[in-house]
Structure 1
Amino acid sequence: MTSQRPIVALSTGDPGGIGPEICLKAALDEDVQGLCRPVLVGDPMVMAAHIEGGGLRCAVDPVSSLADVNGATNHLPLIARDHFSDAPFQMGAITAQNGAASVDTSVTAIQMALTGDVTAVVAAPNTKSSINQAGIDYDGHLSLVARETGQSQEDIFMMLSFGQVNLAHCTLHSSIRRSLELITRKRVVSVIRAVHETLIATGTSAPRIMVSGVNPHASEGGLFGDEEAQIIAPAIADARADGIQLEGPVSADLMLHRDDVDAFIVMLHDQGHIPAKVMARHGAAGVIIGSPIQFASVGHGSALDIAGQGIANPDAMIEAIRWFFGETQLP
């Protein structure tokens, strides 16, 4: 029955970017509607602007209660937020109003997940410049989820997922210098455990995990640094003592050739994001692991230059929704 399918909140992200459009397209996808009941979170006027500008054949219906979310239709349920009653909406622009609106949609969806009203949250991209103009401290969805769920940012991590590839990061949005300070034995053990527990929870009974080094060639026996010997290898040994199947530290540039591994862990943002964007282009889901809620975002930006034109690709949004149900379809 329709009412038995879980409800997934789609946070529409930066209203001036492609977020509302890819949320609309994902919510209209037949496979998505077969897996869950998508509900949008955003401003009705913004949604109408994206529907009209993109020539989309749908409408949004504000709902006062999630009990009113019935399922498959081209009349999409919307948790309505009022973001522009006292300020003009600008499509494709970096503005404080757009920044504040994007954070509000994410926070609203996260709170719905914390109260159990929705099973999961999938968030469209935000624009950091707009959020900074609004005076809000923000460096990505990871820190926002940590703040709203009362967790330390040190305890949750981002894992890019596409097809059969799961690629987690020990550090994310920090400078290389700061990232090297953050890579500690404790933190590496924490990300290993978070990945292991996530894979177990999603149906992999005995996960096999590969951990990268931080230096070129994983330091090649100490020739290019000692972080592998002093930090990463001891952390791997600690996690192995808990019965986790691990390999590493290995060179980050060789890892993804392996197809017998359930998840990869890299130390730095670009060690994971560059190969993910090459391999999956616009189709990677950014899943937050170690959090009390199920939250994923897309692995691309808000593309202000094509906003409101109806040409945005919703694949990453759809992939993120599918991920929660074990239905990823990218190669």
Structure 2
Amino acid sequence: MNAIAKPASPRPRIALALGDPAGIGPEIALKAALDPRVRAACRPVLVGDRGALERHAQACGLAAPLAVVGTAAEEVGEDRIALIDLDQFREEPLRLGEIQAVHGKAAVEAAAVAIRAAMAGEVEAVAACPQTEFAIQAAGIAFDGYPTFVARCTGTPEEDAFLMLCFDNKRIVHTTLHVGLRQAIDLVTPGRVLRVLEATQAVLVKLGVAEPRIAVSGLNPHASEHGMFGNEEATIIEPAMERARARGIRCEGPFGADTMFQKPDYDAFVVMVHDQGHLAAKLLATNRTAGMTIGTPVLFSSVAHGSALEIAGQNKASPEAVVEALLRLSGAAIRARAAA
């Protein structure tokens, strides 16, 4: 493992929730926190169970120079990694690689504590390692993805929170996410399409894009081919785009989702349903895609891959998606700080 780099300039403090402690979350969180690229860009504060983190470190042969802190704002030495220890396994043991309710509860608690730290101004952004939705369901917790969870934690209407997948120079924003396809189609309304375009415009400006240019997908095959395969483009998507243009948003389309990502010079691509965006991201950037929640008051990013229970504790997991999330959040936090 590379040595911790010395900071070159003031760096944002970012909370990093460990995700499902039975999966690869603690491993990739620790690897990312030790990565020189991350240490040069920000000050990570891990959030989760210390025993779980140390167990992963020992199993993977990783150094774990932890410093337990009472709040995320507490300073630690450059040779240490700050950790908010939630002590989550007092009553039930951690079982690596298994789906257990206690694991789901731990993942949700860590994310919630990290978000509260951001709302309190103790950190400038939040990242989260992957959760296991079956474990969260076993814990009896309502959860359909991080965007709506962040919305609930911050008092934001759930319909105003969206997911933006980020990799390389691509940004893909989803109008709908973790719902059945029939429900997703019903959710694609002019108002929702307008809201996702406004949220995309706002976050692109926050990320430093002076005059964003946004491509918009259709809902139907080939964006309906002028009404041959449905009329949602003409009756829903295009009217919403006209309203967005009237508000100064440069959006073009709707384009067929199967060809849209090949079009150059767009700062973001807005898709209508989950698979239109996730298929592209997972084919083009396997295990290195960051998922940013937009439309809420907290800068929040997760990863676009799962908790990989089958390789937990084996030192096989790549931290690149977490590194990607932290670096993007760091840049956004610095720009937000400068604009304040």
Paired with 1:126 and 1:293, the residues of 2 have a C-alpha distance of: 19
- Other-structure match for 2:134: 129
Paired with 1:67 and 1:227, the residues of 2 have a C-alpha distance of: 48
Whether the 8 Å contact between 1:87 and 1:97 is mirrored in structure 2 is yes
Paired with 1:271 and 1:69, the residues of 2 have a C-alpha distance of: 43
Asked if 1:117 is matched to 2:122, the reply is: yes
Moved over 4 A (4+): none
TM-score (norm 1): 0.96
Q: Which residues in structure 2 correspond to 1:76-91 (within 5 Å)?
A: 76-91=81-96
Asked if 1:325 is matched to 2:330, the reply is: yes
Q: Which amino acid aligns with 1:208?
A: R
Asked if 1:19 is matched to 2:25, the reply is: yes
- Other-structure match for 1:33: 39
Whether the 8 Å contact between 2:71 and 2:122 is mirrored in structure 1 is no
- CA-CA distance at 1:201 after TM superposition: 1.2
Match of residue 188, structure 1, among 189, 193, 198: 193
**Quick one: structure 1 residues 52 and 283, their matched pair in 2 at CA, closer, same or farther if it must change by over 3 Å?**
same
Asked if 1:249 is matched to 2:254, the reply is: yes
Q: Which amino acid aligns with 1:108?
A: V
Whether the 8 Å contact between 1:283 and 1:315 is mirrored in structure 2 is yes
Identity of aligned residues (%): 48
TM-score (norm 2): 0.93
**Quick one: structure 1 residues 282 and 72, their matched pair in 2 at CA, closer, same or farther if it must change by over 3 Å?**
farther
- CA-CA distance at 1:67 after TM superposition: 4.4
Paired with 1:66 and 1:192, the residues of 2 have a C-alpha distance of: 33
Whether the 8 Å contact between 1:103 and 1:131 is mirrored in structure 2 is yes
Paired with 1:254 and 1:130, the residues of 2 have a C-alpha distance of: 36
Match of residue 102, structure 2, among 77, 97, 102: 97
- Other-structure match for 2:69: 63
Paired with 2:24 and 2:329, the residues of 1 have a C-alpha distance of: 22
Match of residue 183, structure 2, among 178, 184, 187: 178
Asked if 1:148 is matched to 2:158, the reply is: no
- CA-CA distance at 1:71 after TM superposition: 5.5
- Other-structure match for 1:291: 296
Paired with 2:56 and 2:284, the residues of 1 have a C-alpha distance of: 29
Whether the 8 Å contact between 1:39 and 1:69 is mirrored in structure 2 is no
Q: Which residues in structure 2 correspond to 1:280-319 (within 5 Å)?
A: 280-319=285-324
Paired with 1:87 and 1:319, the residues of 2 have a C-alpha distance of: 33
- Other-structure match for 2:338: none
The total of aligned residue pairs comes to: 326
Match of residue 169, structure 2, among 156, 159, 164: 164
Instruction: Spell out, residue by residue over 1:40-81, the C-alpha distance to the aligned partner (whole angstroms, 9 max, x if none).
Output: 0010110111000111122322112444333643x3210000
Gaps in structure 1 of 5+ consecutive residues: none
Q: Which amino acid aligns with 1:82?
A: D
For the aligned residue pairs, the C-alpha RMSD in angstroms reads 1.4
Partner of 1:324, secondary structure, is helix
**Quick one: structure 1 residues 283 and 221, their matched pair in 2 at CA, closer, same or farther if it must change by over 3 Å?**
same
